[in-house]
């Protein structure tokens, strides 16, 4: 049975799901009518009806068709589609149970129902309706794509110690004589396609300078998967004690590495036969001859010898640069990998459309995808792609360095090999489609559990399907589970990783371009971006957040004309504490650039979840960033031009004052926080309108009628709308005056949203304007505030504000969300208004710091030192307007 409609057009996923649910609903309606026709209104049994009798005879078979759980494997359908089928199944189940009870009752009440000629009923013309319905259901189910039942076999761990053999001694490492110049390599000796034989490898030591060809293995030590079909699979701990024979002795390795060794051995044994199968090797699924020797960290480095480990890690940059190929082991195949790789292959093989504007649209376009030979927007295969990129390799801290420095990369998933250009080309196609990254991410988030947003999936250009959020809990979803405590990764992470080129960065900075919109290299941005990448990756040892990038950050490409010549390069030392390692990295960064842009990544860890005892000015690389920093936004949009410190450089401490826990800086005290908003705006909902207008507008009442903190003497309304967007739009500052109208539009939509909810009795929905306990309190308080500030004075002004929003409205909303997320409004004793880290307090100092473009908030610490709270936007202070009125003072951050 082909998956197509009567016209021969292939059915998309939405149509398939609707056909199944619709067929079930028709059968349900049949049994509902049959049930209602058994007794009359007085409870008297009606005459036997062929439809009801046939329904009784067929119930067992019909039930199996409707509630079918195929032995061929689970349905390859998204939950947001298959929920309709499950809902139809539940309705049928209830009606069938009612019918079954009623049919037994009527057989007892009227003997004629038990004496009906069953053969005549089966041949009745009227009864053929049910046959046709069942036939339609079978046809609809036949069109449902399925994922074959799949399970990864347990690794063969047959004991090597038979009763008649001599027990093997544990493997012992011989010390490397030159650990910063030489490495161990692994060779497979037990070359066989069989999984039953023990893995037997040998090692040898080579000097890197001898240019011996070898491959490097890139993999994850633990469970390689990120998405699981059951909680049991998710919670299962991978084995770390699987025995192999190494140089004639017993060595234990982790399960994921063991599985790779088995695949390597098989590939060595089967390669010559396998290559004969490929008359014209696929452009994506490339067949590569397995390397004869590998460098594998878990085997080639003595992990118990911290001195050797530190020295070997210090040369890993050179090691990857010198290797002939880096072999990425993603792990064994699972139920997602085949479909995912098939989609990536199609994406990679798409012709280069150059500047094709059709690919730049951000709205979901099903027709564009299908015409490009890709799955429709409702296809389960997009979740398979999402699941592949949730594998742990893509989240590893070491990936950034390995991807940047390796001359050639091959990905392997199970037995399939994929060249790196195939992955990169596929990701580039995803990016060029505009909407596809968001589609993949949203599909993945929905499948993993209930989300707080409505997801729209396009069916055809003239018809769209809207799927509301599910009320199911995570344990009730049909198939999929993610790792506990690990954030779901978006595709943007992978764009940034593969953007770093594997070339000699020392001589050509053009290979590292940090901003697509500004095709120039910024050493400061590039280095800070690497540390940001590190914060979003995973590693077992938090020190590796630094050491995994040492081979990159030590390169001269990140130096500037002001780099301190005697600054220390980063040298791995696993004997140091995490705090010491992060301190080394921070000093390395500020001395490389002779600036304090790094401070914008720090501050909040001193107040919340400071697990490593870090000083307040150190970024905690072991934690993901809480929000987009103002400095990061400035670096991405240099046209904003903020220069709070007036361009004054940081006075670099003397050598004796460097590399400690304290940082000496020069500041100008600009004021203290006098009043602060009592709570953080709730921006967690992913709806179009996120601003908490009630909270923001009530805070505006604290402002004077004319703002003295700005040279233009702005009114209350202008100060507020400019502050909540940091007075920037589309990379320019100050924002054009017409954006005041966008604040009005967003406010009116939010206000109308509350009224609409109250009209249907929902008095608890106050996300946009604030939550009120009853209808009798200040529902219209925000309206009065807007009028007091000279807005929405007449019907014409309201009508304009009620007009449909434009792209400028969306830009305003996006900017306000980025500015106010996890930040609070405050008023300084100088009258200035601003917003800063949510953990600010009344009495915190507002300062500008030499060597930084952004104001900061400080708090008194111990022994005359200060604690860094974080960045602040201060309206009327971002361009150094008032800094000339204060003097520079020296102080110490702790």
pLDDT tens digits for range 76-102: 888 888 888 989 999 999 999 999 999
Kindly give, in sequence order, each residue whose CB lies less than 8 Å from that of residue 467, ignoring residues fewer than 6 positions away: 80, 81, 83, 446, 454, 455, 456, 457
- Residue 589 pLDDT level (bands cut at 50, 70, 90): very high
Closest CA to 585 of 543, 635, 639, 537: 543
pLDDT digits (tens, 9 = 90+) for 408-448: 889 999 988 888 888 888 888 887 777 888 888 888 888 87
Report which DSSP code applies to 73. E
Kindly tell me if the per-residue pLDDT of 173 is higher than 90.
Answer: yes
- Which residue would you say has higher pLDDT here, 519 or 568? 568
Res. 874 pLDDT band, cuts 50 70 90: very high
- When pLDDT is cut at 50, 70 and 90, the band that residue 516 belongs to is very low
Structure token pair of residue 532:
């940001």
Higher pLDDT, 271 or 294: 294
Element (H, E) at 326: strand 325-331
SS3 label, residue 276: coil
pLDDT band at 786 (very low <50, low <70, confident <90, very high): confident
| Residue 619 tokens, joined | 């970024």
Q: How many other C-beta atoms lie within 10 A of the C-beta of residue 687?
A: 12
What percentage of residues in the chain have a pLDDT greater than 70? 79
Cα-Cα end-to-end distance for the chain = 71
- Looking at residue 451, its pLDDT comes to 39
pLDDT tens digit sequence for 674-697: 999 876 655 544 443 445 777 788
Higher local confidence (pLDDT), 493 or 596:
596
- pLDDT-derived band at 196, boundaries 50, 70, 90: low
pLDDT band at 160 (very low <50, low <70, confident <90, very high): low
- Out of 319-333, 543-557, 759-773, which region has the weakest mean confidence (pLDDT)? 759-773
pLDDT of residue 680: 61
**How far are the Cα atoms of 24, 111, 128, 472, 882 from residue 67, in angstroms, in the given order?**
9, 31, 21, 20, 73
Contact assessment for residue 747 and residue 782, using Cβ atoms and an 8 Å cutoff? yes
Best mean pLDDT range from 48-57, 355-364, 542-551: 542-551
Q: What is the pLDDT of residue 685?
A: 45
Q: Is the pLDDT of residue 510 over 90?
A: no
Residue 880 has pLDDT above 60, yes or no: yes
Q: What are phi and psi of 19, to 5 degrees?
A: -65, -45
> 276 versus 723: which is more confidently predicted?
723
Task: Point out which residues pair with 458 in neighbouring strands.
Answer: 464
pLDDT (tens digit per residue) in 347-373: 988 876 555 544 455 566 778 888 888
Q: pLDDT per residue over 459-473, tens digit each?
A: 333 333 333 334 444
The better pLDDT of the pair 115, 244 is held by: 244
Higher pLDDT, 757 or 365: 365
Minimum mean pLDDT range among 658-662, 702-706, 822-826, 841-845: 702-706
Mean pLDDT of all residues belonging to the chain: 81
What's the rounded Cα separation, in Å, for the pair 688 and 204? 60
Distance from CA of residue 837 to its chain's centroid? 24
pLDDT tier for residue 665 given thresholds of 50, 70 and 90: very high
DSSP state of 252: E
* Distances from the Cα of 318 to the Cα of 309, 314, 328, angstroms: 15, 9, 18
| Phi, psi of 183, rounded to the nearest 5 degrees | -140, 160
CA proximity to 728, closest of 873, 881, 846, 832: 873
Radius of gyration of the chain (CA): 33
Q: What is the pTM of this model?
A: 0.82
Selection from 603, 508, 570 nearest residue 836 by Cα: 603
Angle at 544 between CA 542 and CA 550, to 5 degrees: 145
Task: Give the per-residue pLDDT at 135.
Answer: 92
Residue 218 contacts residue 256 (beta carbons within 8 Å): no
Query: Cα torsion for 266, 268, 270, 271, to the nearest 10°?
Result: 140
Mean pLDDT of 52-77: 83
Residue 372: its pLDDT value, please? 83
Q: pLDDT band for 298, please (50, 70, 90 cuts).
A: very high
Three-state helix/strand/coil letters over 604-667: HHHCCCCCCCCCCCCCCCCCCCCCCCHHHHHHHCHHHCCCCCCCCCCCCCCHHHCCCCCEEEEE
Per-residue pLDDT, 765: 41
């Amino acid at each position: 049975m082909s998956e197509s409609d009567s016209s021969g057009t292939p059915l998309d996923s939405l149509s398939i799901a609707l056909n199944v649910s619709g067929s079930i609903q028709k059968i349900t309606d049949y049994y509902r009518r049959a049930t209602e026709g058994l007794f009359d209104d007085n409870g008297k049994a009606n005459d036997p009806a062929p439809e009801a009798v046939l329904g009784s005879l067929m119930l067992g078979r019909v039930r199996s068709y409707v509630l079918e759980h195929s032995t061929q494997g689970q349905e390859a359908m998204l939950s947001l589609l298959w929920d309709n089928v499950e809902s139809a199944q539940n309705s049928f189940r209830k009606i069938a149970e009612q019918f079954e009870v009623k049919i037994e009752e009527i057989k007892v009440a009227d003997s004629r129902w038990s004496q009906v000629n069953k053969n005549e009923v089966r041949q009745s013309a009227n009864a053929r309706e049910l046959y046709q319905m069942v036939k339609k259901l079978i046809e609809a189910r036949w069109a449902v794509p399925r994922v074959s039942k799949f399970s990864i076999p347990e690794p063969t761990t047959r004991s090597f110690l038979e009763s008649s053999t001599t027990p093997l001694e544990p493997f012992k490492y011989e010390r490397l004589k030159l650990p910063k110049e030489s490495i161990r390599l692994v060779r497979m000796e037990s070359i066989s396609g069989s999984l039953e034989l023990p893995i037997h490898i040998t090692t040898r030591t080579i000097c890197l300078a001898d240019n011996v060809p070898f491959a490097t293995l890139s993999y994850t030590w633990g469970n390689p998967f990120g998405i699981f079909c059951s909680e049991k699979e998710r919670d299962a701990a991978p084995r770390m004690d699987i025995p192999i024979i190494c140089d004639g002795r017993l060595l234990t390795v982790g399960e994921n590495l063991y599985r790779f060794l088995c695949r390597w051995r098989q590939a060595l044994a089967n390669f010559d036969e396998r290559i004969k199968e490929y008359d014209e090797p696929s452009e994506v699924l490339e067949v590569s001859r397995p390397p004869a020797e590998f460098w594998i960290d878990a085997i080639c480095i003595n992990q118990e010898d911290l001195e050797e480990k530190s020295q070997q890690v210090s040369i890993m940059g050179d090691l990857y640069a010198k290797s002939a190929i880096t072999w990425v082991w993603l792990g064994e195949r699972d139920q997602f990998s085949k479909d995912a790789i098939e989609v990536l292959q199609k994406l990679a093989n798409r012709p280069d459309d150059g500047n094709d504007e059709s690919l730049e649209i951000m709205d979901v376009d099903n027709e564009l995808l299908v015409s490009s030979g890709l799955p429709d927007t409702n296809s389960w295969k997009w979740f398979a792609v999402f699941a592949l990129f949730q594998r742990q390799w893509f989240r590893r801290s070491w990936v950034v360095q390995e991807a940047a420095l390796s001359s050639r990369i091959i990905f392997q998933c199970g037995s399939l090999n994929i060249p790196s250009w195939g992955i990169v080309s596929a990701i580039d196609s995803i990016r060029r489609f505009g909407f596809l990254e968001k589609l993949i991410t949203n599909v993945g988030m929905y499948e993993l559990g209930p989300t707080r947003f409505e997801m729209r999936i396009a069916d055809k250009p003239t018809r769209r399907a809207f799927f509301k959020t599910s009320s199911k809990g995570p344990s009730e979803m049909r198939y999929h589970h993610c790792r506990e405590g690990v954030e779901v990764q978006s595709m943007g992470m992978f764009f940034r990783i593969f953007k770093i080129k594997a070339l000699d960065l020392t001589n050509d900075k053009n290979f590292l371009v940090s901003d697509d919109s500004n095709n120039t290299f910024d050493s400061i941005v590039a280095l800070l971006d690497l540390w940001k990448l590190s914060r979003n990756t995973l590693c077992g040892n938090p020190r590796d957040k630094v050491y995994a990038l040492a081979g990159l950050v030590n390169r001269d490409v990140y130096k500037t004309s002001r780099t301190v010549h005697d600054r220390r390069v980063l040298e791995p030392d696993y004997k140091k504490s995490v705090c010491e390692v992060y301190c080394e990295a921070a000093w390395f960064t500020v001395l490389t650039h002779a600036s304090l842009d790094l401070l914008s990544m720090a501050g909040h860890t001193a107040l919340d979840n400071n697990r490593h005892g870090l000083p307040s000015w150190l970024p905690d690389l072991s934690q993901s960033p809480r929000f987009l920093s103002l400095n990061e936004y400035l670096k991405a949009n240099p046209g904003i031009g903020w220069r709070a410190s007036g361009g004054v450089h940081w006075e670099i401490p003397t050598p004796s004052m460097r590399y400690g826990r304290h940082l000496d800086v020069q500041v100008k005290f600009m004021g203290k926080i006098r009043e602060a908003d009592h709570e953080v705006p709730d921006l967690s909902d992913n709806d179009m309108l996120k601003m908490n207008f009630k909270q923001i507008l009530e805070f505006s009442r604290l402002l004077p009628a004319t703002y003295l903190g700005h040279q233009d003497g702005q009114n209350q309304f202008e100060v507020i709308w400019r502050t909540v967007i940091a007075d920037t739009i589309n990379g320019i500052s100050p924002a054009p005056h017409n954006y005041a109208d966008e604040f009005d539009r967003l406010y009116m939509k939010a206000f109308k949203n509350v009224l609409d909810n109250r009209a249907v009795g929902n008095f608890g929905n106050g996300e946009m304007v604030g939550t009120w306990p009853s209808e009798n309190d200040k529902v219209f308080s925000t309206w009065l505030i807007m009028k007091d500030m000279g807005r929405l004075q007449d019907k014409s002004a309201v009508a304009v504000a009620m007009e449909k929003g434009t792209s400028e409205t969306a830009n305003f909303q996006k900017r306000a969300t980025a500015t106010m997320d996890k930040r609070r409004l405050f008023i300084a004793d100088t009258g200035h208004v601003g917003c800063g880290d949510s953990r600010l307090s009344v009495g915190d100092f507002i300062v500008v710091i030499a060597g930084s473009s952004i104001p900061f908030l400080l708090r008194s610490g111990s022994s005359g030192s200060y604690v860094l709270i974080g960045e602040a936007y201060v309206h009327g202070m971002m361009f150094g307007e008032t800094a000339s009125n204060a003097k520079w003072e020296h102080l110490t951050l702790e």
